[in-house]
Amino acid sequence: MYSSDKQPSIILVKPQMGENIGSAARAMLNFGLENMRIVEARDGWPSQNAVATASGAGRVLDKARHFSNFSDAVSDCHFIFATTARSRDLTKPVYSPKEAMVIASKKISDGENVGLIFGPERAGLENKEVVRSNALVTVPVNPNFSSINLAQSVLLMSYEWFLAKQAYTDKSMQKRQTEAASIMEIEKLAEHYEIELEKKSYFFPIDKASSMKSNLRNIWSRLPLTVSDVRVFHGILRHLIKSRDL
């Protein structure tokens, strides 16, 4: 169940410095965001450096949740935006921060859980995290100097969220006819298909198995699946297995 304040979760993946976590917390609170999740903080959690840098935004850190792996951090999300400055060899929708937060506002008003993931300071998100996202967010910047630090990136997204939220404040929320599938539900679906495809030696040759699985996961993450859709796909596969074994 999404929190009552109806906000996206700011998910910091493997942040390297407590100071940057604290600065990100300040950026969030400037625009009313308080849902921070941290995945595998390099220097451990909690962090005194983060607290010192956060200054008046300490309550964001007090409520922050720390996860030992990426899967657990996004398991209850229905839609994930991955922030990245690098081009990726993946077929995914790409949005500006403004476009992304308008979409996020609509999804959250429909009762979905939305996550914004940010990579570590040195190299950004890895493909294994990006492939499980539903869309990418990039910022149009100087091509000769495109590096944006963690707190700046969080600030940009938080600002655009604040504007998008204000634009929808007076709009009534309508309940969705269908419930969107969570990331965990889609993950289980992907695992179900991978297991059965492994049995049929689909992932061949062996040296290409990893990229084939990654491409398949990317397809699942792009589909706007509902809970009902997931059940149908599970049912189809179970029927095929049963028919094959008769």
Per-residue CA distances from 73 to 10, 22, 79, 121, 161 (Å): 10, 19, 13, 19, 21
Domain range list for the chain = 9-168, 183-245
> Among 87-96, 124-133, 136-145, which range has the highest average pLDDT?
124-133
pLDDT in tens, 199-226: 999 999 999 999 999 999 999 999 989 9
φ/ψ of residue 94, rounded to 5? -120, 130
Query: SS3 for 95?
Result: strand
pLDDT in the model for residue 1: 34
Question: In angstroms, how far is CA 201 from the centroid of its own chain?
Answer: 31
pLDDT band at 5 (very low <50, low <70, confident <90, very high): low
Q: What is the CA radius of gyration of the chain?
A: 19
Q: What predicted TM-score, i.e. pTM, was given to this entire model? A: 0.77
Would the pLDDT of 125 be above 50?
Answer: yes
Question: In angstroms, how far is CA 241 from the centroid of its own chain?
Answer: 32
pLDDT in tens, 46-83: 899 999 999 889 999 999 999 999 999 999 999 999 99
Would the pLDDT of 2 be above 60?
Answer: no
User: Considering only the top CATH level, what class is 9-168?
Assistant: alpha beta
- CA atoms of 168 and 28, how far apart (whole Å): 19
